[in-house]
Amino acid sequence: MNLRSILIGAALLCLSTVAGAQDLKPVKDKSTKLFGYQDKSKNWVIPPSYSAAKRFNGGFAIVEQEGLKGLIDEGGNWILKPEYNDIGKFGKAGLCEVMRKEGKTRYRGVANTAGQLVVPAECQGISIYQSQGIINAQRDVDIPRWGRKALWGVYDANGTQIFEPQFSSSPSWSGGSAIAQSAFSGLYGVINDNGSVPLPFDFLAAETAGSGFELLSSDFVQLAYDSRYFKTSEYAYPGYVAPYDPMGDAVRAAAWRVGPIGVRLHRNSLKYIELGQNARGRSATCSDLPIDWGWNRFVRLEPYECDEGTPGAMLNPEGNNYYTVKAILYEADGRPVGEISSWGWLDAECSDGVIYKAQGADTWIALKDINCLALPSFTISLGGLRSIDHGDVLGGLGLHNYEISRMCDPNQAVRRYEEIREGENAGITSYLPRPAPELRSARALDDAMRSPLFRRNFRMGQVVNCKTSATETGVTLTLSKNLTCTFEDEFRDPRFRMKGEEEIFWGPNNARTVRLSLERVDSRKSPDAMKDDLMGTDMSFELVVSLYEEDGRYLRTLGVVPAPDYYSEGVLVLEPLGIAIMEHRSPGTSRLELKGARKLPHSLSALKAAK
């Protein structure tokens, strides 16, 4: 007998065995009330001994004894003993999921056709990729500082560990690679089934694109890689600022934006002061710090671990280590320039800001108003002056115990890291240039934008937040002193969204300006946009509010509205943005009545009439 005949015979035997198993049917014995399996001739092939039984599938059948499920072969032999509350089906890789209960808790594992538990039934979650022969398992692991947490790991079909538990969700496998999210940073990377990490965990978002990948890096660079992990394109978003770095330090993470910590302090909000006395009490004479501010550089006050002997060292009661507050100078994009104070502490606070002792000699003040008038010298009254107890980080940085201790929870820490990354870069897409007008709409735009409204440069104090309330005689505005804008960012490839508020910085000389412009839109997508009733076209336009540098360079778009809502007495009101734009500076009052103001029609002629 030749080899071909042997192989054909073996194949026929396997087919007949499977067919025989498929012919077996579960039948309930009337006398014992138990289930067994009969063939087509109604002969008992497997005697009745189960409280429940299912049909054979792939040569195996799930049966139940005393409320627990097991798995038998066509000969009635146990593949998996009845120890489980549920058993799944075997797939191409010969793997199935099993589940057992302990009280209300469910534990899952993976078994093979030999009856071996390749992954013990002690996991919170299981994902089996049968075509790749890969198992994702979520199981409890002990993590230093964080305690016992349930994280996802990756295993092969034999249960051999490929990646130890470290992922916050189950990686999605395709063609031997998968996108995974680190449980320790919240960032994404790409892993391989051979245990390598071809694209590290440095990305805010990631998704597959054909056989390659689209990624958004944590410094807001959009990248594309092919299936061999070669970079094929790279695009950096303008306006990115390297965020405050928690460095994995619980105190640094908790302290971000608590008081002046981690806040970007510019030339006109961080001053050298000399304390004095005036008729109203304590005062401070403010002047510029003798440092090179360059172009839009800023300073951050940041806590760093230090020696116990450092002057003003603050104890961390959670870890019995000590901290000082350094002052670091950064470029406009967040690249560090260097330390300008290697140690110091927050000494006192007042209504206008927080006083910082720089290396224990100089006294600085971090003003709460980022748009303090850019004057070379001025005096402020230190109203509500209160000393800060900097014996430990709780009093010295204004923290609570729980704010530090919650950073020991990986979920809380990751959320904080995300909050810092996104909070430092809210509105990054607003730095993208607006689309150029089409030739067809250019003429209508040119005619509509001849209004003086579009030729004005509005400065700090002329563009402020407002709330509107209609009255019988017009509209009443409740005005703010500053301008804070809400930004919504959307990245498409890969998809990533973030939303946040940001107080608008008017530049180191308070000389940035706001200008208005028009932009053509699809009337079907924006039915409330202004209609062109000047040139008689079918076009629609929206109003764009943009911020410009003092030298006239475009900086960013602050908002877009379908149409202005009110224009009266030199005041333009944009209700959706909560912004009032005034020909003159805010009158210094929180309320302003626009008598006779009525809603403007959504047309270009109404906007052109504004003078």
pLDDT of 533: 84
Q: How many domains does the chain have?
A: 4
Domain holding 161: CATH number?
A: 2.40.128
pLDDT of 1: 44
Identify which of 461, 483, 506, 252 has the alpha carbon closest to the alpha carbon of residue 371. Answer: 506
Residue 437's Cβ-count burial label (10 Å; 0-12, 13-18, 19+) is middle
pLDDT of 537: 80
Pair (267, 384) in one structural domain: yes
| pLDDT exceeds 80 at position 436 | yes
> What domain range is 500 assigned to?
431-608
pLDDT of 442: 81
| pLDDT exceeds 70 at position 225 | yes
pLDDT of 474: 86
Split at pLDDT 50, 70, 90, the class of 17 is: very low
Split at pLDDT 50, 70, 90, the class of 453 is: confident
Among 82, 99, 117, the domain-final residue is 82
The residues pairing with 111 across neighbouring beta strands, listed in sequence order, are: 96, 117
Split at pLDDT 50, 70, 90, the class of 12 is: very low
Q: Flag whether 351 is in a domain.
A: yes
Q: Flag whether 153 is in a domain.
A: yes
pTM given for the model: 0.84
Q: Which residue has the higher pLDDT, 495 or 448?
A: 495
What does the alpha-carbon distance between residue 450 and residue 524 come to, in Å, rounded to a whole number?
Answer: 27
β-strand 344-350 against 336-341: which pairing, if any?
A: unpaired
Q: Flag whether 96 is in a domain.
A: yes
Q: pLDDT digits over 454-508, tens only?
A: 889 999 999 999 999 988 888 999 999 889 999 999 998 999 999 999 999 999 8
Pair (371, 260) in one structural domain: yes
Chain Cα centroid distance, residue 23: 55
Pair (519, 555) in one structural domain: yes
DSSP per-residue letters across 449-512: TTSGGGT--B-TTTEEEEEEEE-SSEEEEEE-SS-EEEEEEEETTTTEEEEEEEEPP--TTS--
SS3 state at 5: helix
SS3 state at 327: strand
Question: Which DSSP letter does residue 239 get?
Answer: T
Q: pLDDT digits over 288-337, tens only?
A: 999 999 988 999 999 999 999 999 999 999 888 999 999 999 999 999 99
| pLDDT exceeds 50 at position 15 | no
CB 361 within 8 A of CB 343: no
pLDDT of 584: 82
| pLDDT exceeds 60 at position 549 | yes
pLDDT of 279: 65
Identify which of 303, 366, 301, 295 has the alpha carbon closest to the alpha carbon of residue 331. Answer: 295
Q: pLDDT digits over 144-191, tens only?
A: 767 788 999 999 999 999 999 999 999 999 989 999 999 989 999 999
Q: Which residue has the higher pLDDT, 525 or 51?
A: 51
Pair (186, 322) in one structural domain: no
Q: pLDDT digits over 122-141, tens only?
A: 999 999 999 999 999 999 98
Q: Flag whether 231 is in a domain.
A: no
What does the alpha-carbon distance between residue 135 and residue 154 come to, in Å, rounded to a whole number?
Answer: 6
In terms of C-beta distances under 8 Å and separation of at least 24 residues, what long-range contacts does 89-92 make, across chains too? 89/57, 89/58, 90/58, 90/60, 91/128, 91/130, 92/130, 92/131
Q: How large is the average pLDDT for residues 64-82?
A: 93
Pair (398, 470) in one structural domain: no
Identify which of 343, 377, 338 has the alpha carbon closest to the alpha carbon of residue 357. Answer: 343
Q: pLDDT digits over 254-278, tens only?
A: 999 999 999 999 999 999 999 987 7
Q: How large is the average pLDDT for residues 338-349?
A: 96
Pair (442, 532) in one structural domain: yes
Q: Which residue has the higher pLDDT, 290 or 535?
A: 290
Pair (547, 495) in one structural domain: yes
| pLDDT exceeds 70 at position 411 | yes
Pair (505, 564) in one structural domain: yes
| pLDDT exceeds 80 at position 3 | no
**How high is the mean pLDDT of the chain?**
90
Q: Which of 100-104, 353-357, 521-525 has the lowest mean pLDDT?
A: 521-525
Pair (372, 436) in one structural domain: no
Question: CA angle, corner 486, sides to 419 and 412, nearest 5?
Answer: 15
pLDDT of 361: 79
pLDDT of 443: 79
CB 470 within 8 A of CB 586: no
pLDDT of 13: 41
Percentage above 70 pLDDT, the chain: 95
Q: Which residue has the higher pLDDT, 17 or 582?
A: 582
Q: Flag whether 242 is in a domain.
A: no
Instruction: Report which residue type is found at 567.
Output: Y
User: What is the spatial order of strands in the sheet that 60-65 belongs to?
Assistant: 52-53, 60-65, 68-73, 78-84
Q: How large is the average pLDDT for residues 370-396?
A: 91
Q: How large is the average pLDDT for residues 570-588?
A: 87
Split at pLDDT 50, 70, 90, the class of 523 is: confident
pLDDT of 22: 55
Output the six-digit token pair for 149. 């947490």
Q: Which of 106-110, 407-411, 426-430, 599-603 has the lowest mean pLDDT?
A: 407-411
Q: How large is the average pLDDT for residues 17-38?
A: 81
Q: Flag whether 59 is in a domain.
A: yes
Q: Which residue has the higher pLDDT, 335 or 522?
A: 335
Pair (396, 302) in one structural domain: yes
Among 407, 424, 441, the domain-final residue is 424
Among 29, 55, 82, the domain-final residue is 82
Residue 410's Cβ-count burial label (10 Å; 0-12, 13-18, 19+) is buried
Pair (490, 586) in one structural domain: yes
